[in-house]
């Protein structure tokens, strides 16, 4: 189905809610301690959240124009293939299949397991098992039909907003701990790049905002307004929660508590029972974020397999005859995610995921300049505001994240690049097989 065939019934309110819904997930509850520890003190940590929001806003506005100019399904994979050729499209899809998607699923699964273990007093060793069981359960649910995963997604949207609103409002109102200039007292090296990288995990999901442009009543006006409004609301929510938590707990305590800081803040605000209810709301939010990733990420290897761009394409492109879901592609993502969950901690997995995807985001941002130069039939639909400043900010943000991560975490960065480049022989092999198949058909 082409975008032109879709009903144009999405207005400003729905589009804005989609932006907010796709961005807010686990990061706001999991990353405050990491951001403070990396930034060195509470003031710089808040600036990291602002910088991450600005990069996200510029990125969303830029990718929206790319989305409108290239009205194809497949997201980043489709954009790079259209602008830079099949090889770059393949490499992007390969990285999303082998590293980014599984790392995101694995990290959220481990965060969920950590919170469940903390809430119910289970041993620290149980969090990985709980995370893996949760990932397997949601994979099964989504394989039985997208309507079940969709129900979980709708339920979790409400769940994610309740703890954010309550912690932000009551924390700012009732807290009495100084917010600014409080040292993290962390032994780790100060790195603003690492701090911003951690915030970008919380802002991740903005890539999806341009996908619904073809279904908007007036994308030229609605899309930029929805992106700007949605991301600003997310920025305000994130800053409010961080200020509230810093107003309730000392900065060094937030670092010490890590993923359990939001639960502890809620307990101090609302008592033991209230804290548990807020913690359950946080769990619902993270569970929904995990469900959304499991629902969507397998579509990338499935789409590549349909194009015969992966080994075992025939197997990976199969759809269940009854449930109409991509079973094998989902199982592939599940297996890789579980291996990552057993091998690494969630903060490490989330950093690897953001680093690898920003390698390709930079190319997607630069594509705006190439598309403007060549011109398309959709030029009248939407143009990124403040061109060329906005895409330049997005590109500089991507360079900053990639460069600072290479400097401060060279081992994981180089490993990620190595795995990415492992797609080169795979691409040559697949291309060779496709050529042989074509020759056989011709002869």
pLDDT tens by residue, 98-128: 999 899 899 999 988 988 887 788 887 888 9
What integer pLDDT is reported at residue 405 of this predicted model?
86
What integer pLDDT is reported at residue 4 of this predicted model?
44
In a domain, 392, yes or no: yes
Enumerate residue ranges in the chain where pLDDT < 70: 1-10, 14, 18, 71-74, 145-160, 181, 185-189, 208-217, 219-220, 313, 320-321, 323, 375-381, 434-443
d(CA 24, CA 48): 17
What integer pLDDT is reported at residue 1 of this predicted model?
41
Q: Structurally, how many domains does the chain consist of?
A: 1
What integer pLDDT is reported at residue 282 of this predicted model?
80
What CATH code is carried by the domain that includes residue 309? 1.20.1740.10
Q: For the chain, what is the HEC assignment?
A: CCHHHCCCCECHHHHHHHHHHHHCCCHHHHCHHHHHHHHCEHHHHHHHHHHHHHHHHHHHHHHHHHHHHCCCCCCHHHHHHHHHCHHHHHHHHHHHHHHHHHHHHHHHHHHHHHHHHHHHCCCCCHHHHHHHHHHHHHHHHHHCCHHHHHHHHHHHHHHHHHHHHHHHHHHHHHCCCCCCCCECCCCCCCCHHHHHHHHHHHHCCHHHHHHHHHHECCHHHHHHHHHHHHHHHHHHHHHHHHHHHHHHCCHHHHHHHHHHHHHHHHHHHHHHHHHHHHHHHHHHHHHHHHHHHHHHCCHHHHHHHHCCCCCCHHHHCCCCCCCCCCHHHHHHHHHHHHHHHHHCCHHHHHHHHHHHHHHHHHHHHHHHHHHHHHCCCCCCCCCCCCCCHHHHHHHHHHHHHHHHHHHHCHHHHHHHHHHHHCHHHHHHHHHHHHHHHHHHHHC
Domain containing 199 equals 12-434
In a domain, 443, yes or no: no
What integer pLDDT is reported at residue 399 of this predicted model?
92
d(CA 31, CA 12): 30
For the record, the structure tokens of 55 come out as 């990069």
In a domain, 439, yes or no: no
In a domain, 62, yes or no: yes
pTM here is: 0.83
What integer pLDDT is reported at residue 363 of this predicted model?
92
In a domain, 7, yes or no: no
In a domain, 4, yes or no: no
In a domain, 441, yes or no: no
In a domain, 5, yes or no: no
């Amino acid at each position: 189905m082409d975008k032109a065939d879709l009903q144009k019934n999405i207005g400003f309110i729905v589009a804005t809610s989609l932006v907010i819904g796709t961005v807010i997930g686990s990061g706001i509850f999991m990353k405050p301690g990491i951001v403070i520890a990396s930034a060195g003190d509470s003031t710089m940590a808040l600036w990291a959240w602002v910088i991450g929001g600005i990069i996200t806003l510029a990125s969303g506005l830029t990718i929206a124009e790319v989305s409108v100019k290239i009205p194809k399904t497949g997201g980043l994979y489709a954009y790079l293939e259209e602008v830079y050729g099949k090889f770059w499209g393949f490499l992007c899809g390969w990285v999303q299949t082998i590293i980014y998607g599984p790392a995101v699923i694995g990290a959220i699964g481990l965060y969920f397991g950590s919170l469940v273990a903390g809430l119910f007093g289970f041993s620290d060793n149980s969090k990985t098992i709980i995370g893996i069981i949760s990932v397997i359960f949601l994979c099964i649910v989504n394989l039985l039909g997208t309507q079940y995963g969709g129900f979980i997604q709708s339920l979790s949207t409400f769940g994610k907003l309740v703890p954010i609103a309550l912690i932000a409002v009551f924390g700012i109102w009732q807290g009495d701990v100084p917010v600014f200039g409080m040292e993290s007292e962390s032994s780790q090296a100060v790195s603003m790049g690492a701090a911003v990288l951690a915030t970008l995990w919380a802002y991740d999901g903005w890539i999806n905002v341009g996908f619904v442009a073809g279904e908007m009543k007036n994308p030229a006006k609605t899309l930029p307004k929805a992106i700007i409004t949605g991301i600003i609301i997310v920025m305000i929510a994130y800053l409010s929660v961080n200020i509230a938590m810093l107003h309730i707990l000392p900065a060094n305590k937030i670092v010490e508590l890590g993923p359990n800081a939001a639960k502890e803040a809620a307990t101090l605000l609302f008592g033991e029972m209230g804290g548990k209810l807020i913690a359950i709301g946080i769990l619902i939010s993270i569970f929904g974020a995990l469900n959304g990733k499991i629902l969507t990420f397998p579509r990338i290897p499935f789409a590549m397999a349909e194009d015969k761009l992966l080994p075992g394409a025939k197997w990976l492109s199969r759809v269940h005859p009854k449930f109409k879901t991509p079973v094998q592609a989902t199982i592939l993502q599940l297996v890789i995610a579980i291996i990552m969950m057993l091998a690494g901690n969630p903060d490490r997995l989330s950093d690897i995921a953001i680093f690898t995807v920003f390698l390709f985001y930079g190319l997607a941002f630069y594509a705006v300049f190439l598309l403007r130069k060549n011109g398309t039939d959709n030029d009248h639909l939407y143009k990124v505001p403040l061109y060329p400043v906005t895409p330049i900010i997005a590109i500089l943000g991507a360079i900053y994240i990639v460069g600072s991560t290479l400097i401060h975490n060279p081992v994981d960065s180089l490993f990620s690049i190595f795995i990415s480049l492992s797609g080169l022989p795979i691409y040559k092999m697949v291309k060779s097989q496709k050529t042989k198949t074509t020759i056989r058909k011709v002869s």
